[in-house]
A and B are shown apart, each in its own frame.
Chain A
Amino acid sequence: MRTSFVFSEVVTGLRRNVTMTIAMILTTAISLFLLGVGLLVVNMVGKMQDDYLGKLEVAVMLTNDISVNDKDCTQQPCSSLRSQLETTSGVETVVYENRDKGYERFKKVFESQPELAKLARPEAIPAMFRVKLEDAQRSDVIVQAFTGKAGVKKVDDQREDLDRLFGFLNGVRDAALALALLQAFAALMLISNTIQVSAFTRRTEVGIMRLVGATRWYTQLPFLIEAVVAGVIGAVASIGLLVVTKLFLLNRVLGELFAANIIPEVSMVEILFLSPILVGVAIAISALTGYVTLRLYVRL
């Protein structure tokens, strides 16, 4: 195989259909960008789950009566609630936090927002058991068993709040992946169309190639490589888009949350790890589409 020959054919082919080539590259780039966003969100949710599930607690908040009268949880019904919690299977630790300690913690959490800390009065904060589970996913056992018991005001499962956040992120992921799929479909059609146009404009060459006994590979490879080259350029553009999005959108909008470690940061390293996947997907899709198109529509 004479590579210089194939290469020059590819370059002329791409130049001849500049508009189609650009359309092909752009759709591919957008499709892969959305795929990248989807994958990054998947990654992010995974990391957050790891981060948070270890720290998640179920707060069993107690009635005002207990909050006022029982500072050490020595009286009924507090002490029996504690022993019930401790003997529930799957519970790792149970910590009793009375109203004063709760207030201290509240002030600490909102240290950076003194106006908010000032607003709260100790009386508004109930005494509670902070229950840590071996498996945070199974918190509903506690919620079901203790909601409505004597002395229990409310069982607050942090996992539910987190689930809401995850639900949102998973929605973003699904939307991104769905759009990516739609765009990929458009890219597919464009690739197929470009190859057909390309083959038509070069029908004389291809005719002569067939006539003098060029193998199928020789006649088809330039078209295939054309599609793959456009695909790879699209993939590189999509990686660029991801980097730009990180630098100019994510870092500005979510920068504080990243810094406070509330949301795991989308790092450049992650985008770097993603890029071979995007390039690989681009190559696979364009090569496959090209091959099928040549087989079905173009007589070479």
Chain B
Amino acid sequence: MIRLEHVSKVYKSSARPALDNVSVEMDKGEFVFLIGPSGSGKSTFLRLLLREEVPSKGRVYVSNFDVAKMSRRRVPRLRQSIGCVFQDFRLLTNKTVAENVAFALEVIGKPRNTIVKVVPEVLQLVGLDGKADRMPHELSGGEQQRVAIARAFVNRPLVLLADEPTGNLDPDTSQDIMLLLERINRTGTTVLMATHDHSIVDSMRRRVVELDHGRIIRDDARGVYGVGR
């Protein structure tokens, strides 16, 4: 589902590469934690998958997309098959919960009758049924993140990228969000989550890929956060 082959990324402003000859493969339906300190290359990793960046060297594959080589015109296709969740939720503050989710479908040209059908479904999946007409500022942080997850998942992506999704949430709420991500993973969606959160990684016992200074220093099938340090 996701495959990187000898990928390096050097930014113009920095001498040290953000990613240094990284090769890794993640299968369909896997749940993978991407861990490492700030500046270890986690964000660059995610940005490469979305084609926000192009690698300086190496190849990137997501599903059938040759991400580094594809034409600009095909990029929207790639992004439609990837869902994204962030630490800061990135909701539209002037739209309701349902409108926020619907927005993701409207802008890719989905027909109205599909939207009115799938939006309530996905809101129910993330446990927000009954809150469709609330504004984001009326919701708790955990609920806002659920809206963001609903928006990322509503188009049934092959891959869900989560960049520190629990970074702004308390431990209990974080746990709920993880349960939700697991549920999404069980539908067959590959989930790749970048995080700093030891307890979550340790409790989930999933595959852990650790980056440091742009290199993969660990890839455990059933890892914990702090092993070997």
Decide if B208 is an interface residue (CB 8 Å cutoff).
no
Bound form: Cα–Cα A209–B79 in Å: 10
Bound form: Cα–Cα A85–B94 in Å: 86
Chain A positions within 8 Å of B112 at CB level: 2
Nearest A residue to B154 by beta-carbon distance? A212
B92 A213 Cβ-Cβ under 8 A: no
Chain A positions within 8 Å of B104 at CB level: 208, 212
Chain A positions within 8 Å of B50 at CB level: 211
Decide if B78 is an interface residue (CB 8 Å cutoff).
yes
Quick one: which of A1, A2, A5, A212 has the most chain B CB within 10 A?
A212
Chain A positions within 8 Å of B84 at CB level: 211-212
Bound form: Cα–Cα A204–B148 in Å: 14
A209 B90 Cβ-Cβ under 8 A: no
Decide if B106 is an interface residue (CB 8 Å cutoff).
yes
Decide if B151 is an interface residue (CB 8 Å cutoff).
yes
Chain B positions within 8 Å of A211 at CB level: 50, 79, 84
The total of chain A residues at the interface (CB under 8 A) is 17
Give chain A interface residues in 200-217, CB to chain B under 8 Å.
Answer: 204-205, 207-216
Decide if B227 is an interface residue (CB 8 Å cutoff).
no
**Known contacts A1-B109, A5-B106, A208-B103; A213 and B77 CB within 8 A of each other:** yes
Query: Within the complex, which residue of A1, A204, A218, A219 is in contact with B90, where a contact is CB–CB below 8 Å?
Result: A204
Give 1 or 0 for each of B40-84: 1 = CB within 8 Å of chain A CB: 000000000010000000000000000000001101111111101
A212 B90 Cβ-Cβ under 8 A: no
Quick one: which of B72, B75, B109 has the most chain A CB within 10 A?
B109
Give 1 or 0 for each of A102-143: 1 = CB within 8 Å of chain B CB: 000000000000000000000000000000000000000000
Nearest B residue to A1 by beta-carbon distance? B109
A218 B155 Cβ-Cβ under 8 A: no
B189 to chain A minimum Cβ distance, whole angstroms, is 15
Query: Within the complex, which residue of B76, B90, B92, B103 is in contact with A215, where a contact is CB–CB below 8 Å?
Result: B76
Decide if B217 is an interface residue (CB 8 Å cutoff).
no
B108 A212 Cβ-Cβ under 8 A: yes
Decide if B15 is an interface residue (CB 8 Å cutoff).
no
A202 to chain B minimum Cβ distance, whole angstroms, is 10
B79 A213 Cβ-Cβ under 8 A: yes
Chain A positions within 8 Å of B72 at CB level: 216
Quick one: which of B73, B104, B106, B107 has the most chain A CB within 10 A?
B107
Give 1 or 0 for each of B81-95: 1 = CB within 8 Å of chain A CB: 110100000101000
B160 to chain A minimum Cβ distance, whole angstroms, is 12
A276 to chain B minimum Cβ distance, whole angstroms, is 32
Nearest A residue to B152 by beta-carbon distance? A212
Query: Within the complex, which residue of B73, B75, B106, B151 is in contact with A2, where a contact is CB–CB below 8 Å?
Result: B106
**Known contacts A212-B151, A212-B155, A213-B77; A218 and B107 CB within 8 A of each other:** yes
Query: Within the complex, which residue of B92, B106, B107, B108 is in contact with A204, where a contact is CB–CB below 8 Å?
Result: B92
B107 A214 Cβ-Cβ under 8 A: yes
Bound form: Cα–Cα A51–B105 in Å: 64
Chain B positions within 8 Å of A210 at CB level: 79
A209 B107 Cβ-Cβ under 8 A: yes
Chain A positions within 8 Å of B151 at CB level: 208, 212
Nearest A residue to B75 by beta-carbon distance? A213
Bound form: Cα–Cα A216–B92 in Å: 20
B80 A213 Cβ-Cβ under 8 A: yes
Give 1 or 0 for each of A1-34: 1 = CB within 8 Å of chain B CB: 1100100000000000000000000000000000
Chain A positions within 8 Å of B155 at CB level: 212-213
B78 A213 Cβ-Cβ under 8 A: yes
Bound form: Cα–Cα A90–B92 in Å: 80
A9 to chain B minimum Cβ distance, whole angstroms, is 9
A218 B108 Cβ-Cβ under 8 A: yes
Bound form: Cα–Cα A1–B151 in Å: 20
Known: A208-B104, A212-B108, A215-B109. 20 other contacts (CB 8 A): A2-B106, A2-B109, A2-B112, A5-B106, A5-B107, A204-B90, A204-B92, A208-B90, A208-B92, A210-B79, A212-B80, A212-B104, A212-B155, A213-B78, A213-B80, A216-B72, A216-B73, A216-B76, A218-B107, A219-B107
List B residues at the A interface (Cβ < 8 Å). 50, 72-73, 75-82, 84, 90, 92, 103-104, 106-109, 111-112, 151, 155
Q: List 13 A-B contacts (CB under 8 A).
A: A2-B106, A204-B92, A208-B107, A212-B104, A212-B155, A213-B77, A213-B81, A213-B155, A214-B108, A215-B76, A215-B108, A216-B72, A216-B73
> 4 tightest CB-CB pairs across the interface, nearest first?
A213-B79, A213-B80, A214-B107, A213-B76
